[in-house]
Chain A
Amino acid sequence: GAGVSQSPSNKVTEKGKDVELRCDPISGHTALYWYRQSLGQGLEFLIYFQGNSAPDKSGLPSDRFSAERTGGSVSTLTIQRTQQEDSAVYLCASSFRRLAGGQRDTQYFGPGTRLTVL
């Protein structure tokens, strides 16, 4: 079946511009995660959506970052007034997460969006 898809695959923008990154999770997956990977750095968690619950935004680095998930499926990560330090690969993952327990919550990642802020 189809995996997690992300678009665009590459995005080059100028400092100060806003950007939107899109994630299409695996069909039926209830949980969606955003991570980012800066050059030479590990992956860091940004935000997590689970069903209709309030998202866990604890990893967002500043208020310039926001994300939404419409209809429990597609998610958009928005970065306002981009800065050069925002340059990174932004990765989306989804899982079939059951809060009641069980192990069907392995996260599957998309290919990422490489963002370059000039």
Chain B
Amino acid sequence: DAKTTQPPSMDCAEGRAANLPCNHSTISGNEYVYWYRQIHSQGPQYIIHGLKNNETNEMASLIITEDRKSSTLILPHATLRDTAVYYCIVRVGSGDNQGGKLIFGQGTELSVKP
């Protein structure tokens, strides 16, 4: 079972920041938070991941709370092309004995509106 909970859907106005929350209250010390998104009829696309520090790349920012029990993915200026299902995934890093497989939950369906 997925170790994360996310709201099923969210709306965001084009050009505004989209803040997608994720709860992972049972996260372990060696587990990372990964975010993927899936645009309709495409394969999932990697966005960002982090362990405990906040992370930023060209796509998004990831804010992880100090207790690591929740995180927020931020798309700073959402566009219509950001409409997708966003998945928050908790997984063990390299060197684990679980094979690194991703356990997807239901994700958050983000609709960016003009």
Contacts and interface: CB of A to CB of B under 8 A. Distances in A.
A11 to B, nearest CB: 15
B17 interface: no
A60 B8 CA distance: 27
Residues of B in contact with A, size category: 20 to 34
B95 A91 contact: no
Interface residues of A, number: 31
Interface stretch (B21-29, B41-49, B59-67): B41-49
Interface stretch (A12-20, A61-69, A78-86, A92-100): A92-100
Contact of B100 (A59, A95, A101, A109): A95
Contacts, number: 68
A43 B104 contact: yes
B44 A43 contact: yes
B93 A48 contact: no
B78 to A, nearest CB: 22
A44 to B, nearest CB: 7
19 contacts: A33-B101, A42-B2, A42-B104, A42-B106, A42-B107, A44-B104, A45-B102, A93-B44, A95-B100, A98-B94, A99-B95, A101-B93, A101-B95, A102-B95, A103-B93, A104-B94, A105-B94, A106-B49, A111-B43
B103 interface: yes
Given A42-B2, A56-B99, A101-B93, 7 more contacts: A33-B100, A42-B104, A97-B94, A101-B94, A103-B32, A103-B93, A106-B34
Contacts of A42: 2, 104-107
A107 B99 CA distance: 12
A40 to B, nearest CB: 10
Q: Considering residues A31, A59, A109, A110, which has the most beta carbons from chain B within 10 angstroms of its beta carbon?
A: A109
Contacts of B101: 33, 45, 48, 56, 59
